[in-house]
Structure 1
Amino acid sequence: MTLTVSEIRFRRKARQLTRLKQAADQGENQAFEIDWFDYREIPKPEIVALLRERGWDYRDDDLGEAGWLLHFVPGEDQGANGKADAQRRLQADLHDAEMNPNGGYHLDTSQYGPVSYPEIRGIVRAAGLTVATNTQTATGRTLVLAEPQTTVLTSAYGPFDPKADPPSKDLDWARERQRLWSKQFNRQIGLGFLHGFVGLFALAAALTSDPSDGSGHYIAWAVATVALLLFIRAALKGPDVRRRRWEELGHLLER
Protein backbone atom coordinates (compact mmCIF):
# COMPACT_ATOMS: atom_id res chain seq x y z
CA MET A 1 0.00 0.00 0.00
CA THR A 2 1.43 3.35 -1.05
CA LEU A 3 1.13 6.17 1.46
CA THR A 4 0.37 9.72 0.45
CA VAL A 5 2.70 12.57 1.38
CA SER A 6 0.21 13.74 4.02
CA GLU A 7 0.05 10.28 5.58
CA ILE A 8 3.83 10.01 5.66
CA ARG A 9 4.16 13.40 7.36
CA PHE A 10 1.38 12.52 9.83
CA ARG A 11 3.17 9.33 10.88
CA ARG A 12 6.49 11.15 11.07
CA LYS A 13 4.95 13.82 13.30
CA ALA A 14 3.43 11.18 15.57
CA ARG A 15 6.86 9.57 16.05
CA GLN A 16 8.44 12.96 16.73
CA LEU A 17 5.76 13.82 19.29
CA THR A 18 6.46 10.56 21.12
CA ARG A 19 10.20 11.24 21.16
CA LEU A 20 9.64 14.81 22.33
CA LYS A 21 7.45 13.73 25.24
CA GLN A 22 10.03 11.16 26.31
CA ALA A 23 12.86 13.70 26.08
CA ALA A 24 10.88 16.25 28.10
CA ASP A 25 10.10 13.74 30.85
CA GLN A 26 13.78 12.77 31.05
CA GLY A 27 15.10 16.36 30.99
CA GLU A 28 17.46 17.68 33.62
CA ASN A 29 16.20 19.82 36.48
CA GLN A 30 17.90 23.09 35.52
CA ALA A 31 17.64 23.32 31.71
CA PHE A 32 16.36 21.49 28.68
CA GLU A 33 17.06 22.07 25.01
CA ILE A 34 16.08 20.44 21.74
CA ASP A 35 17.14 20.81 18.14
CA TRP A 36 14.03 21.87 16.22
CA PHE A 37 15.46 20.20 13.11
CA ASP A 38 14.91 16.87 14.92
CA TYR A 39 11.21 17.71 15.30
CA ARG A 40 10.62 19.67 12.12
CA GLU A 41 7.14 18.25 11.57
CA ILE A 42 5.92 19.88 14.81
CA PRO A 43 5.16 23.62 14.66
CA LYS A 44 7.01 25.68 17.24
CA PRO A 45 3.85 26.85 19.09
CA GLU A 46 2.82 23.21 19.47
CA ILE A 47 6.27 22.30 20.84
CA VAL A 48 6.11 25.16 23.35
CA ALA A 49 2.59 24.22 24.46
CA LEU A 50 3.45 20.53 24.84
CA LEU A 51 6.57 21.21 26.88
CA ARG A 52 4.74 23.74 29.05
CA GLU A 53 2.30 20.96 29.96
CA ARG A 54 5.31 18.91 31.04
CA GLY A 55 6.75 21.65 33.23
CA TRP A 56 9.11 23.47 30.85
CA ASP A 57 8.88 27.16 29.96
CA TYR A 58 10.31 28.42 26.68
CA ARG A 59 13.30 30.74 27.15
CA ASP A 60 14.88 31.50 23.75
CA ASP A 61 16.31 29.91 20.62
CA ASP A 62 19.66 29.84 18.85
CA LEU A 63 19.97 29.24 15.11
CA GLY A 64 23.47 28.16 14.17
CA GLU A 65 25.37 25.88 11.86
CA ALA A 66 24.83 22.90 14.16
CA GLY A 67 21.04 23.27 14.27
CA TRP A 68 18.15 25.34 15.60
CA LEU A 69 18.26 24.96 19.36
CA LEU A 70 15.21 25.77 21.48
CA HIS A 71 16.04 26.42 25.14
CA PHE A 72 13.63 25.71 28.00
CA VAL A 73 13.83 26.16 31.76
CA PRO A 74 11.78 24.62 34.56
CA GLY A 75 8.29 26.10 34.51
CA GLU A 76 7.27 28.44 37.25
CA ASP A 77 4.50 27.64 39.66
CA GLN A 78 1.38 29.03 37.99
CA GLY A 79 -0.12 29.96 41.36
CA ALA A 80 0.17 33.18 43.32
CA ASN A 81 3.73 32.50 44.50
CA GLY A 82 5.00 31.77 41.00
CA LYS A 83 3.33 34.86 39.60
CA ALA A 84 4.76 37.05 42.35
CA ASP A 85 8.23 35.63 41.71
CA ALA A 86 7.93 36.37 37.98
CA GLN A 87 6.78 39.92 38.73
CA ARG A 88 9.74 40.50 41.06
CA ARG A 89 12.11 39.09 38.47
CA LEU A 90 10.67 41.39 35.80
CA GLN A 91 10.98 44.40 38.11
CA ALA A 92 14.62 43.51 38.82
CA ASP A 93 15.38 43.05 35.11
CA LEU A 94 13.86 46.41 34.26
CA HIS A 95 15.73 48.10 37.11
CA ASP A 96 19.01 46.87 35.63
CA ALA A 97 17.97 47.39 31.99
CA GLU A 98 20.52 49.12 29.78
CA MET A 99 19.38 50.66 26.51
CA ASN A 100 21.26 49.51 23.41
CA PRO A 101 22.81 52.06 21.00
CA ASN A 102 19.54 52.17 19.06
CA GLY A 103 17.81 53.45 22.19
CA GLY A 104 15.81 50.34 23.07
CA TYR A 105 15.76 47.38 25.46
CA HIS A 106 14.38 44.08 24.15
CA LEU A 107 12.04 42.23 26.48
CA ASP A 108 10.74 38.71 25.79
CA THR A 109 7.47 38.39 27.70
CA SER A 110 7.57 34.58 27.48
CA GLN A 111 10.23 34.67 30.21
CA TYR A 112 7.58 35.88 32.66
CA GLY A 113 4.91 33.31 31.82
CA PRO A 114 2.50 33.74 34.76
CA VAL A 115 2.34 37.53 34.28
CA SER A 116 -0.28 38.79 31.82
CA TYR A 117 0.53 41.35 29.17
CA PRO A 118 -1.51 44.17 30.81
CA GLU A 119 0.37 43.49 34.06
CA ILE A 120 3.69 43.61 32.22
CA ARG A 121 2.69 46.96 30.72
CA GLY A 122 1.93 48.25 34.22
CA ILE A 123 5.31 47.12 35.55
CA VAL A 124 7.03 48.72 32.56
CA ARG A 125 5.29 52.04 33.23
CA ALA A 126 6.15 51.83 36.93
CA ALA A 127 9.80 51.39 35.93
CA GLY A 128 9.63 54.69 34.01
CA LEU A 129 9.81 53.09 30.56
CA THR A 130 7.54 53.03 27.52
CA VAL A 131 6.77 50.35 24.92
CA ALA A 132 8.24 51.52 21.61
CA THR A 133 7.33 48.42 19.56
CA ASN A 134 5.27 45.33 20.27
CA THR A 135 5.78 42.20 18.14
CA GLN A 136 3.65 39.07 18.53
CA THR A 137 5.67 35.83 18.51
CA ALA A 138 4.85 32.15 18.70
CA THR A 139 5.51 32.12 22.43
CA GLY A 140 4.38 35.58 23.54
CA ARG A 141 5.51 39.07 22.66
CA THR A 142 8.81 40.81 22.05
CA LEU A 143 8.72 44.36 23.36
CA VAL A 144 11.22 47.09 22.65
CA LEU A 145 11.24 49.38 25.66
CA ALA A 146 12.61 52.90 25.76
CA GLU A 147 12.96 55.83 28.05
CA PRO A 148 10.22 58.47 27.59
CA GLN A 149 10.70 61.07 24.86
CA THR A 150 13.65 59.32 23.25
CA THR A 151 14.09 58.11 19.67
CA VAL A 152 14.32 54.36 19.05
CA LEU A 153 15.84 53.17 15.79
CA THR A 154 14.88 49.99 13.97
CA SER A 155 16.76 48.10 11.24
CA ALA A 156 14.81 50.13 8.66
CA TYR A 157 16.94 53.16 9.56
CA GLY A 158 20.22 51.49 8.64
CA PRO A 159 23.33 50.73 10.75
CA PHE A 160 23.93 52.97 13.75
CA ASP A 161 27.26 52.46 15.52
CA PRO A 162 28.08 55.29 17.94
CA LYS A 163 31.52 55.88 19.39
CA ALA A 164 32.17 54.79 22.96
CA ASP A 165 30.23 56.61 25.68
CA PRO A 166 28.86 59.72 23.98
CA PRO A 167 26.64 61.92 26.19
CA SER A 168 23.09 60.54 26.28
CA LYS A 169 21.68 63.87 25.04
CA ASP A 170 23.99 63.82 22.01
CA LEU A 171 23.21 60.15 21.37
CA ASP A 172 19.46 60.73 21.31
CA TRP A 173 19.93 63.72 18.98
CA ALA A 174 22.08 61.54 16.71
CA ARG A 175 19.39 58.83 16.63
CA GLU A 176 16.76 61.39 15.64
CA ARG A 177 18.98 62.78 12.88
CA GLN A 178 19.79 59.24 11.74
CA ARG A 179 16.06 58.57 11.45
CA LEU A 180 15.51 61.69 9.33
CA TRP A 181 18.51 61.08 7.08
CA SER A 182 17.50 57.44 6.59
CA LYS A 183 14.00 58.48 5.54
CA GLN A 184 15.52 60.76 2.90
CA PHE A 185 17.84 58.01 1.68
CA ASN A 186 15.06 55.39 1.58
CA ARG A 187 12.88 57.84 -0.36
CA GLN A 188 15.58 58.20 -3.02
CA ILE A 189 15.92 54.41 -3.21
CA GLY A 190 12.16 54.05 -3.70
CA LEU A 191 12.07 56.79 -6.34
CA GLY A 192 15.05 55.19 -8.09
CA PHE A 193 13.29 51.84 -8.36
CA LEU A 194 10.06 53.46 -9.55
CA HIS A 195 11.67 55.68 -12.19
CA GLY A 196 14.01 52.92 -13.31
CA PHE A 197 11.13 50.48 -13.83
CA VAL A 198 9.01 53.03 -15.70
CA GLY A 199 12.00 54.16 -17.76
CA LEU A 200 12.99 50.65 -18.85
CA PHE A 201 9.38 49.75 -19.65
CA ALA A 202 8.95 52.93 -21.73
CA LEU A 203 12.32 52.40 -23.41
CA ALA A 204 11.35 48.87 -24.42
CA ALA A 205 8.09 50.21 -25.83
CA ALA A 206 9.93 52.96 -27.73
CA LEU A 207 12.47 50.54 -29.21
CA THR A 208 9.81 48.13 -30.42
CA SER A 209 7.44 50.76 -31.80
CA ASP A 210 7.41 52.05 -35.36
CA PRO A 211 7.80 55.82 -35.99
CA SER A 212 5.04 55.47 -38.55
CA ASP A 213 2.63 54.55 -35.75
CA GLY A 214 2.26 58.23 -34.94
CA SER A 215 2.62 60.15 -31.69
CA GLY A 216 2.71 56.99 -29.54
CA HIS A 217 6.28 56.28 -30.63
CA TYR A 218 7.50 59.74 -29.63
CA ILE A 219 5.52 59.75 -26.39
CA ALA A 220 7.22 56.48 -25.39
CA TRP A 221 10.63 58.02 -26.07
CA ALA A 222 9.72 61.13 -24.07
CA VAL A 223 8.49 59.09 -21.09
CA ALA A 224 11.59 56.88 -21.20
CA THR A 225 13.89 59.88 -21.33
CA VAL A 226 12.23 61.71 -18.43
CA ALA A 227 11.97 58.58 -16.26
CA LEU A 228 15.59 57.59 -16.83
CA LEU A 229 16.77 61.12 -16.07
CA LEU A 230 14.80 61.01 -12.82
CA PHE A 231 16.35 57.60 -12.08
CA ILE A 232 19.84 59.08 -12.54
CA ARG A 233 18.89 62.01 -10.30
CA ALA A 234 17.74 59.65 -7.52
CA ALA A 235 20.87 57.50 -7.95
CA LEU A 236 23.04 60.57 -7.43
CA LYS A 237 21.04 62.01 -4.54
CA GLY A 238 21.21 58.77 -2.52
CA PRO A 239 25.00 58.90 -1.98
CA ASP A 240 24.75 62.66 -1.43
CA VAL A 241 22.32 62.05 1.45
CA ARG A 242 24.79 59.56 2.94
CA ARG A 243 27.61 62.09 2.60
CA ARG A 244 25.68 64.90 4.28
CA ARG A 245 24.61 62.51 7.06
CA TRP A 246 28.25 61.67 7.75
CA GLU A 247 29.25 65.34 7.72
CA GLU A 248 26.68 66.00 10.43
CA LEU A 249 27.00 62.83 12.55
CA GLY A 250 30.50 61.56 11.82
CA HIS A 251 31.96 63.02 15.01
CA LEU A 252 29.65 60.74 17.04
CA LEU A 253 29.68 57.57 14.92
CA GLU A 254 32.16 54.86 14.02
CA ARG A 255 32.72 54.20 10.34
Structure 2
Amino acid sequence: MSEELVHDIGLWLLIPSIVLFTVIVTATALGTPSEIRFRRKERQLARLQQAADQCENQVFEIDWFDYREIPKPEILAVLREHGWGYQDDDLGEAGWLLRFVPAEDRDANGKEDAQRRLRADLRDAEMDVRGAYHLDTSQYAPLSYPEIRGIVRAAGLTVATNTRTAVGRTLVLSKPQTTVLSSSDGPFKPKATLPSRDLDRVRERQRVWAKQFNRQVGLAFLHGFIGLFALAAALTSEPADGTGHYLAWALATVALLLFIRAVLKGLDVRRKRWDELGHLLER
Protein backbone atom coordinates (compact mmCIF):
# COMPACT_ATOMS: atom_id res chain seq x y z
CA MET A 1 0.00 0.00 0.00
CA SER A 2 1.55 3.33 -1.07
CA GLU A 3 2.43 6.07 1.39
CA GLU A 4 0.08 8.50 -0.40
CA LEU A 5 -2.83 6.09 -0.04
CA VAL A 6 -2.10 5.61 3.67
CA HIS A 7 -2.09 9.40 4.08
CA ASP A 8 -5.45 9.73 2.31
CA ILE A 9 -7.03 6.98 4.42
CA GLY A 10 -5.73 8.60 7.60
CA LEU A 11 -7.15 11.96 6.51
CA TRP A 12 -10.59 10.52 5.80
CA LEU A 13 -10.59 8.78 9.17
CA LEU A 14 -9.52 11.97 10.96
CA ILE A 15 -12.24 14.22 9.51
CA PRO A 16 -15.20 12.05 10.67
CA SER A 17 -13.53 11.67 14.06
CA ILE A 18 -13.37 15.45 14.48
CA VAL A 19 -17.00 15.80 13.43
CA LEU A 20 -18.08 13.02 15.81
CA PHE A 21 -16.12 14.60 18.68
CA THR A 22 -17.80 17.96 18.01
CA VAL A 23 -21.24 16.36 17.99
CA ILE A 24 -20.57 14.54 21.27
CA VAL A 25 -19.34 17.70 22.99
CA THR A 26 -22.32 19.71 21.73
CA ALA A 27 -24.80 17.00 22.77
CA THR A 28 -23.21 16.80 26.21
CA ALA A 29 -23.56 20.55 26.66
CA LEU A 30 -27.10 20.92 25.30
CA GLY A 31 -28.48 17.45 25.93
CA THR A 32 -29.45 14.77 23.46
CA PRO A 33 -32.51 15.33 21.26
CA SER A 34 -34.50 12.90 23.42
CA GLU A 35 -33.54 14.80 26.58
CA ILE A 36 -34.51 18.12 24.99
CA ARG A 37 -37.90 16.72 23.95
CA PHE A 38 -38.43 15.25 27.42
CA ARG A 39 -37.82 18.62 29.09
CA ARG A 40 -40.12 20.31 26.57
CA LYS A 41 -42.80 17.71 27.27
CA GLU A 42 -42.50 18.28 31.03
CA ARG A 43 -43.02 22.02 30.55
CA GLN A 44 -46.05 21.39 28.34
CA LEU A 45 -47.54 18.99 30.89
CA ALA A 46 -47.15 21.56 33.66
CA ARG A 47 -48.78 24.23 31.48
CA LEU A 48 -51.65 21.87 30.56
CA GLN A 49 -52.37 20.97 34.18
CA GLN A 50 -52.32 24.61 35.22
CA ALA A 51 -54.73 25.57 32.43
CA ALA A 52 -57.08 22.70 33.39
CA ASP A 53 -57.13 23.74 37.05
CA GLN A 54 -57.77 27.40 36.22
CA CYS A 55 -60.57 26.82 33.68
CA GLU A 56 -63.96 27.94 35.07
CA ASN A 57 -66.03 27.27 31.92
CA GLN A 58 -68.19 24.24 31.21
CA VAL A 59 -66.08 23.46 28.15
CA PHE A 60 -62.29 23.29 28.32
CA GLU A 61 -60.72 23.73 24.88
CA ILE A 62 -57.04 23.41 23.97
CA ASP A 63 -55.05 23.50 20.76
CA TRP A 64 -53.13 20.25 20.53
CA PHE A 65 -50.41 21.98 18.51
CA ASP A 66 -49.54 23.86 21.71
CA TYR A 67 -48.86 20.49 23.39
CA ARG A 68 -47.45 18.56 20.45
CA GLU A 69 -44.91 16.66 22.55
CA ILE A 70 -47.72 14.99 24.52
CA PRO A 71 -49.52 12.05 22.85
CA LYS A 72 -53.28 12.42 22.73
CA PRO A 73 -53.97 9.42 25.02
CA GLU A 74 -51.71 10.96 27.65
CA ILE A 75 -53.50 14.31 27.35
CA LEU A 76 -56.83 12.54 27.91
CA ALA A 77 -55.47 10.66 30.93
CA VAL A 78 -53.95 13.77 32.52
CA LEU A 79 -57.07 15.88 32.07
CA ARG A 80 -59.27 13.10 33.38
CA GLU A 81 -57.26 13.17 36.59
CA HIS A 82 -58.11 16.87 36.75
CA GLY A 83 -61.83 16.25 36.26
CA TRP A 84 -62.17 16.73 32.50
CA GLY A 85 -63.60 14.14 30.10
CA TYR A 86 -62.90 14.15 26.36
CA GLN A 87 -65.79 15.34 24.18
CA ASP A 88 -64.56 15.78 20.60
CA ASP A 89 -61.91 17.41 18.41
CA ASP A 90 -61.84 19.70 15.40
CA LEU A 91 -58.97 20.00 12.93
CA GLY A 92 -59.22 23.29 11.07
CA GLU A 93 -57.40 26.47 10.17
CA ALA A 94 -57.39 27.56 13.80
CA GLY A 95 -55.45 24.43 14.80
CA TRP A 96 -56.30 21.00 16.18
CA LEU A 97 -58.80 21.79 18.90
CA LEU A 98 -59.56 19.24 21.62
CA ARG A 99 -62.68 19.86 23.71
CA PHE A 100 -63.35 18.58 27.19
CA VAL A 101 -66.31 18.78 29.56
CA PRO A 102 -66.57 17.97 33.28
CA ALA A 103 -65.96 14.24 33.64
CA GLU A 104 -69.17 13.52 35.51
CA ASP A 105 -71.22 14.98 32.65
CA ARG A 106 -69.21 13.12 30.06
CA ASP A 107 -69.49 9.76 31.81
CA ALA A 108 -73.28 9.93 31.78
CA ASN A 109 -73.63 9.43 28.04
CA GLY A 110 -70.15 9.54 26.51
CA LYS A 111 -69.53 5.79 26.40
CA GLU A 112 -73.00 5.01 25.10
CA ASP A 113 -72.65 7.62 22.35
CA ALA A 114 -69.21 6.31 21.36
CA GLN A 115 -70.53 2.75 21.16
CA ARG A 116 -73.42 3.87 18.98
CA ARG A 117 -71.14 5.82 16.63
CA LEU A 118 -68.66 2.95 16.36
CA ARG A 119 -71.37 0.40 15.54
CA ALA A 120 -72.80 2.73 12.88
CA ASP A 121 -69.36 3.34 11.35
CA LEU A 122 -68.58 -0.38 11.22
CA ARG A 123 -71.98 -1.16 9.75
CA ASP A 124 -71.26 1.25 6.88
CA ALA A 125 -67.56 0.32 6.57
CA GLU A 126 -66.33 -0.49 3.08
CA MET A 127 -63.04 -2.28 2.51
CA ASP A 128 -60.59 -0.56 0.18
CA VAL A 129 -59.00 -2.30 -2.82
CA ARG A 130 -56.27 -3.69 -0.54
CA GLY A 131 -58.92 -5.45 1.55
CA ALA A 132 -58.65 -3.18 4.59
CA TYR A 133 -60.65 -0.62 6.54
CA HIS A 134 -58.66 1.81 8.72
CA LEU A 135 -60.27 2.62 12.06
CA ASP A 136 -58.98 5.58 14.10
CA THR A 137 -59.74 4.60 17.69
CA SER A 138 -59.11 8.14 18.96
CA GLN A 139 -62.55 9.04 17.58
CA TYR A 140 -64.04 6.78 20.26
CA ALA A 141 -61.96 7.93 23.21
CA PRO A 142 -64.46 6.99 25.97
CA LEU A 143 -64.11 3.33 24.98
CA SER A 144 -61.23 1.15 26.09
CA TYR A 145 -59.28 -0.87 23.57
CA PRO A 146 -60.85 -4.22 24.64
CA GLU A 147 -64.32 -2.66 24.28
CA ILE A 148 -63.50 -1.50 20.74
CA ARG A 149 -62.18 -4.94 19.80
CA GLY A 150 -65.36 -6.52 21.15
CA ILE A 151 -67.56 -4.26 19.01
CA VAL A 152 -65.35 -4.97 15.99
CA ARG A 153 -65.76 -8.74 16.47
CA ALA A 154 -69.50 -8.34 16.95
CA ALA A 155 -69.64 -6.53 13.60
CA GLY A 156 -68.11 -9.58 11.90
CA LEU A 157 -64.70 -8.00 11.26
CA THR A 158 -61.19 -8.97 12.33
CA VAL A 159 -58.17 -6.86 13.32
CA ALA A 160 -55.44 -7.45 10.73
CA THR A 161 -52.87 -5.10 12.26
CA ASN A 162 -52.70 -2.71 15.17
CA THR A 163 -50.52 0.40 14.94
CA ARG A 164 -49.85 2.96 17.65
CA THR A 165 -49.89 6.59 16.50
CA ALA A 166 -49.48 9.96 18.20
CA VAL A 167 -53.26 10.21 18.64
CA GLY A 168 -53.90 6.64 19.80
CA ARG A 169 -54.29 3.46 17.77
CA THR A 170 -55.14 2.76 14.17
CA LEU A 171 -56.73 -0.62 13.57
CA VAL A 172 -56.59 -2.17 10.11
CA LEU A 173 -59.78 -4.20 9.86
CA SER A 174 -60.70 -6.85 7.34
CA LYS A 175 -63.41 -9.36 6.67
CA PRO A 176 -62.77 -12.95 7.79
CA GLN A 177 -60.81 -15.13 5.33
CA THR A 178 -59.90 -12.09 3.24
CA THR A 179 -56.40 -11.26 2.02
CA VAL A 180 -55.11 -7.87 3.21
CA LEU A 181 -52.19 -6.26 1.37
CA SER A 182 -49.60 -4.27 3.28
CA SER A 183 -47.26 -1.57 1.99
CA SER A 184 -44.52 -4.18 1.49
CA ASP A 185 -46.72 -5.91 -1.08
CA GLY A 186 -46.20 -3.03 -3.51
CA PRO A 187 -48.65 -0.85 -5.45
CA PHE A 188 -52.00 -2.44 -6.23
CA LYS A 189 -54.48 -0.75 -8.57
CA PRO A 190 -57.06 -3.15 -9.96
CA LYS A 191 -58.98 -2.14 -13.04
CA ALA A 192 -62.48 -0.83 -12.50
CA THR A 193 -63.80 -3.70 -14.63
CA LEU A 194 -62.41 -6.33 -12.24
CA PRO A 195 -65.37 -8.17 -10.64
CA SER A 196 -65.46 -7.86 -6.86
CA ARG A 197 -65.71 -11.65 -6.53
CA ASP A 198 -62.24 -11.97 -8.13
CA LEU A 199 -60.60 -9.18 -6.14
CA ASP A 200 -59.49 -11.31 -3.19
CA ARG A 201 -57.92 -13.94 -5.47
CA VAL A 202 -55.95 -11.21 -7.27
CA ARG A 203 -54.80 -9.77 -3.94
CA GLU A 204 -53.58 -13.21 -2.87
CA ARG A 205 -51.58 -13.62 -6.08
CA GLN A 206 -50.19 -10.09 -5.65
CA ARG A 207 -48.95 -11.02 -2.19
CA VAL A 208 -47.34 -14.25 -3.43
CA TRP A 209 -45.44 -12.41 -6.18
CA ALA A 210 -44.49 -9.57 -3.80
CA LYS A 211 -42.99 -12.06 -1.34
CA GLN A 212 -40.79 -13.55 -4.06
CA PHE A 213 -39.76 -10.10 -5.32
CA ASN A 214 -38.95 -8.78 -1.83
CA ARG A 215 -36.74 -11.80 -1.21
CA GLN A 216 -34.66 -10.97 -4.29
CA VAL A 217 -34.47 -7.30 -3.25
CA GLY A 218 -33.10 -8.34 0.14
CA LEU A 219 -30.54 -10.64 -1.45
CA ALA A 220 -29.50 -7.90 -3.88
CA PHE A 221 -28.89 -5.45 -1.03
CA LEU A 222 -26.92 -8.05 0.94
CA HIS A 223 -24.72 -9.18 -1.92
CA GLY A 224 -24.29 -5.63 -3.20
CA PHE A 225 -23.09 -4.40 0.19
CA ILE A 226 -20.66 -7.30 0.61
CA GLY A 227 -19.45 -6.91 -2.97
CA LEU A 228 -18.77 -3.18 -2.66
CA PHE A 229 -17.00 -3.68 0.67
CA ALA A 230 -14.82 -6.44 -0.78
CA LEU A 231 -14.17 -4.39 -3.93
CA ALA A 232 -13.03 -1.43 -1.84
CA ALA A 233 -10.66 -3.72 0.07
CA ALA A 234 -9.32 -5.15 -3.19
CA LEU A 235 -8.74 -1.72 -4.73
CA THR A 236 -6.88 -0.45 -1.67
CA SER A 237 -4.53 -3.44 -1.60
CA GLU A 238 -1.75 -4.65 -3.87
CA PRO A 239 -0.49 -8.07 -5.00
CA ALA A 240 2.46 -7.57 -2.70
CA ASP A 241 0.05 -7.72 0.26
CA GLY A 242 -0.27 -11.47 -0.25
CA THR A 243 -3.30 -13.75 -0.36
CA GLY A 244 -5.56 -11.10 1.20
CA HIS A 245 -5.47 -9.13 -2.04
CA TYR A 246 -6.60 -12.10 -4.13
CA LEU A 247 -9.20 -13.20 -1.58
CA ALA A 248 -10.71 -9.71 -1.65
CA TRP A 249 -10.96 -9.82 -5.44
CA ALA A 250 -12.48 -13.31 -5.34
CA LEU A 251 -15.06 -12.31 -2.71
CA ALA A 252 -15.94 -9.13 -4.62
CA THR A 253 -16.39 -11.08 -7.86
CA VAL A 254 -18.62 -13.75 -6.29
CA ALA A 255 -20.71 -11.22 -4.34
CA LEU A 256 -21.25 -8.96 -7.35
CA LEU A 257 -22.21 -11.94 -9.52
CA LEU A 258 -24.76 -12.95 -6.88
CA PHE A 259 -25.98 -9.34 -6.83
CA ILE A 260 -26.53 -9.41 -10.60
CA ARG A 261 -28.28 -12.78 -10.29
CA ALA A 262 -30.66 -11.42 -7.61
CA VAL A 263 -31.44 -8.34 -9.74
CA LEU A 264 -32.18 -10.48 -12.80
CA LYS A 265 -34.37 -12.86 -10.79
CA GLY A 266 -36.23 -9.89 -9.31
CA LEU A 267 -36.90 -8.52 -12.78
CA ASP A 268 -38.04 -11.96 -13.88
CA VAL A 269 -40.48 -12.13 -10.96
CA ARG A 270 -41.92 -8.75 -11.96
CA ARG A 271 -42.28 -9.91 -15.55
CA LYS A 272 -44.06 -13.13 -14.54
CA ARG A 273 -46.32 -11.20 -12.17
CA TRP A 274 -47.31 -8.84 -14.95
CA ASP A 275 -47.88 -11.74 -17.36
CA GLU A 276 -50.34 -13.24 -14.89
CA LEU A 277 -52.03 -10.13 -13.46
CA GLY A 278 -51.30 -7.38 -15.98
CA HIS A 279 -54.68 -7.63 -17.68
CA LEU A 280 -56.37 -7.09 -14.30
CA LEU A 281 -54.29 -4.17 -12.98
CA GLU A 282 -53.72 -0.57 -13.94
CA ARG A 283 -50.20 0.42 -14.85
Say whether the fold is shared (TM-score over 0.5).
yes
Closer, same or farther: CA 14–119 of 1 in aligned 2, 3 Å: closer
Alignment-derived partner of residue 222 in structure 1:
250
2:121 is equivalent to residue 93 of structure 1: yes
Closer, same or farther: CA 217–181 of 1 in aligned 2, 3 Å: same
2:215 is equivalent to residue 207 of structure 1: no
Closer, same or farther: CA 57–226 of 1 in aligned 2, 3 Å: farther
**Shift of the alpha carbon at 1:21?**
5.5
Question: Which of residues 72, 95, 103 is equivalent to 2:98?
Answer: 72
2:169 is equivalent to residue 141 of structure 1: yes
Which structure 2 residues correspond to residues 33-182 of structure 1 after superposition, within 5 A?
A: 34=63, 36=65, 38-40=66-68, 42-45=69-72, 46-49=74-77, 54-57=84-87, 59=89, 69-72=95-98, 78-79=106-107, 81-164=109-192, 166-182=194-210
**Shift of the alpha carbon at 1:234?**
1.7
Question: Can you list the C-alpha shifts for 1:36-67, whole angstroms capped at 9, x where unaligned?
Answer: 1x445x423454545665454465868xxx89
- Give the conservation status (yes or no) of the 8 Å contact 1:51–1:57: no
- Give the conservation status (yes or no) of the 8 Å contact 1:152–1:175: yes
Alignment-derived partner of residue 183 in structure 1:
211
Question: For structure 1, which segment, 148-157 or 132-141, has the greater mean C-alpha deviation from structure 2 after superposition?
Answer: 132-141
**Shift of the alpha carbon at 1:141?**
1.9
Identity among equivalent positions (%) equals 64
Q: TM-score, normalised by structure 2?
A: 0.71
**Hey, what's the Cα distance between the residues in 2 that align with 1:227 and 1:107?**
45
**Hey, what's the Cα distance between the residues in 2 that align with 1:198 and 1:143?**
39
**Hey, what's the Cα distance between the residues in 2 that align with 1:58 and 1:165?**
40
**Hey, what's the Cα distance between the residues in 2 that align with 1:72 and 1:10?**
18
Indicate the structure with greater helix content. Answer: 2
Question: Which of residues 277, 280, 283 is equivalent to 1:249?
Answer: 277
Larger Rg computed on CA atoms? 2
Question: What root-mean-square deviation, in Å, do the aligned CA atoms of Structure 1 and Structure 2 show?
Answer: 3.5
**Shift of the alpha carbon at 1:139?**
3.8
Alignment-derived partner of residue 265 in structure 2:
237
Q: Structure 1: which 5+ residue stretches go unaligned?
A: none
**Shift of the alpha carbon at 1:116?**
2.1
Q: Structure 2: which 5+ residue stretches go unaligned?
A: 1-29
Question: Can you list the C-alpha shifts for 1:147-193, whole angstroms capped at 9, x where unaligned?
Answer: 00011111121111122263233111111111111112211111111
**Shift of the alpha carbon at 1:10?**
8.4
Q: Number of matched residues?
A: 243
**Hey, what's the Cα distance between the residues in 2 that align with 1:148 and 1:141?**
21
- Give the conservation status (yes or no) of the 8 Å contact 1:48–1:58: no
